[in-house]
């Protein structure tokens, strides 16, 4: 029986760490910023976003508007590429932890597995990570993913001069989400379904998918008031304690900071899913329904965030380590 179990675990490990591969893209059009879109070897699809100018924020009469969304004119001075979809488990795990060992569902507490999380697995996932979006990713780990992606793509000669893979700025994210639109949503069907309390996933005019109702997405910026006046390529670094999340998620009547909470008024349901919606979360804590999509954009020097040790689950405490050891003990290979 034990041998059968060990074979099963080995098979699961083999399947779970397998990454869907695509042909390596031609470096020339990427380096010269001439490619309209391309797919990296791990099937991360990148879409070109042109430079341009837009009105960031929301008008005072927009339903669901927050007080932290004053309008301003923003210029995005250079084109960049953005991932068409949020990063998936089978793209994230092989890059972050190639030696990842899957733990069967239910081995943790209430379906949340510390051993999974500390291996850069999902906080609450199936035993075999697949094409589902990876969520509960800390901001610090999303940044680390981009650094690893940079190292790989630089070695392959596919980085344009002065560009890097990173999280988008808040302005880049909203500009890409709007794709030339000026209303609360980037298409009418999404606006209609959101007001009716229904999830609706679609692609915008730039070809980016699920910007409104995928998962909440990390951006580079610290949460802070917008500066007034016209700005070019703005990014906000204040104290690093709270990082901005953008977009929404398909259970969009839940606020991840408050737990499951049903909103009754339309404006409450729309608070976090509009083009201009802003939220904030701590950078080293894993939140359900929070993921990211990288951009290939001009380099930005990012200060280290300020992390309260009480809310840094990226550091294993002795208690956490003990839980991990207990959870893993049934899956250790035998010497037979």
DSSP state of 314: T
pLDDT of amino acid 268: 73
pLDDT digits (tens, 9 = 90+) for 285-326: 888 889 999 999 999 999 999 998 888 876 555 555 554 455
Cα–Cα distances in angstroms (integers) from residue 236 to residues 170, 171, 177, 246, 286, in the given order: 8, 10, 19, 14, 22
Half-sphere exposure of 309 (CA within 13 A, CB side): 2
pLDDT of amino acid 46: 98
pLDDT of amino acid 197: 73
pLDDT of amino acid 262: 52
pLDDT of amino acid 79: 98
CATH number listed for the domain at residues 2-331: 3.90.1580.10
pLDDT of amino acid 264: 60
pLDDT of amino acid 94: 85
pLDDT of amino acid 5: 39
Pseudo-torsion of CA 243, 248, 249, 255, nearest 10°? 70
Instruction: Give the separation between CA 85 and CA 44, rounded to whole angstroms.
Output: 8
pLDDT of amino acid 68: 94
- Are 83 and 46 spatial neighbours (Cβ–Cβ below 8 Å)? yes
Instruction: Give the separation between CA 249 and CA 201, rounded to whole angstroms.
Output: 10
What the block records as the tokens of 293 is 């999509």
Report the chain (336 residues): mean pLDDT per 10 consecutive residues. Answer: 41 45 89 97 96 97 92 98 94 81 46 52 53 86 96 97 98 98 92 79 92 92 91 96 87 46 65 91 88 97 91 62 50 41
Cα–Cα distances in angstroms (integers) from residue 102 to residues 8, 11, 68, 71, 171, in the given order: 11, 10, 41, 46, 37
DSSP 184-236: SSSSHHHHHHHHTT-----B-TT--B-TTTB-EEEEEEES-PPPSS-EES---
Secondary structure, 3-state, 138-154: CHHHHHHHHHHHHHHHH
pLDDT of amino acid 162: 98
């Amino acid at each position: 029986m034990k041998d059968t179990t060990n074979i099963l675990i080995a098979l699961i490990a083999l399947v779970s760490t397998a990454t869907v591969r695509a042909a390596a893209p031609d470096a020339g059009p990427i380096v010269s910023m001439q490619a309209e879109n391309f797919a990296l070897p791990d099937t991360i699809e990148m879409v070109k976003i042109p430079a341009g100018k837009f009105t960031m924020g929301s008008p005072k009469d927009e339903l669901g508007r927050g007080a932290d969304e004053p309008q301003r004119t923003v210029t995005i001075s250079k084109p960049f590429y953005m991932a068409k979809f949020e990063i998936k488990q089978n793209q994230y795990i092989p890059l972050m932890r190639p030696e990842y060992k899957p733990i069967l569902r239910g081995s943790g507490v209430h379906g949340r597995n510390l051993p999974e999380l500390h291996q850069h697995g999902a906080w609450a996932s199936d035993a075999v990570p697949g094409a589902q979006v990876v969520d509960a990713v800390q901001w610090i780990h999303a940044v680390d993913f981009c650094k690893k992606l940079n190292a790989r793509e630089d070695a392959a000669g596919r980085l344009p001069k002065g560009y890097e893979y990173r999280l988008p700025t808040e302005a880049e994210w909203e500009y890409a989400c709007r794709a030339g639109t000026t209303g609360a949503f980037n298409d009418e069907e999404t606006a209609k379904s959101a007001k009716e309390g229904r999830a609706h996933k679609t692609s915008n005019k730039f070809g980016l998918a699920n910007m409104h109702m995928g998962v909440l997405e990390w951006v580079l910026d610290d949460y802070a008031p917008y500066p007034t006046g016209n700005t070019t390529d703005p990014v906000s670094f204040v104290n690093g304690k709270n990082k901005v999340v953008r977009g929404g998620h398909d259970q969009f009547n839940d606020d991840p900071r408050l737990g499951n909470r049903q909103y009754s008024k339309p404006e409450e349901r729309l608070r976090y899913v509009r083009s201009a919606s802003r939220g904030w979360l701590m950078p080293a804590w894993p939140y359900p329904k929070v993921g990211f999509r990288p951009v290939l954009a001009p380099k930005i020097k990012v200060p280290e965030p300020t992390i309260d040790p009480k809310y840094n689950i990226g550091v294993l405490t002795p208690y956490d380590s003990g839980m991990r050891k207990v959870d893993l003990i049934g899956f250790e290979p035998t010497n037979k």
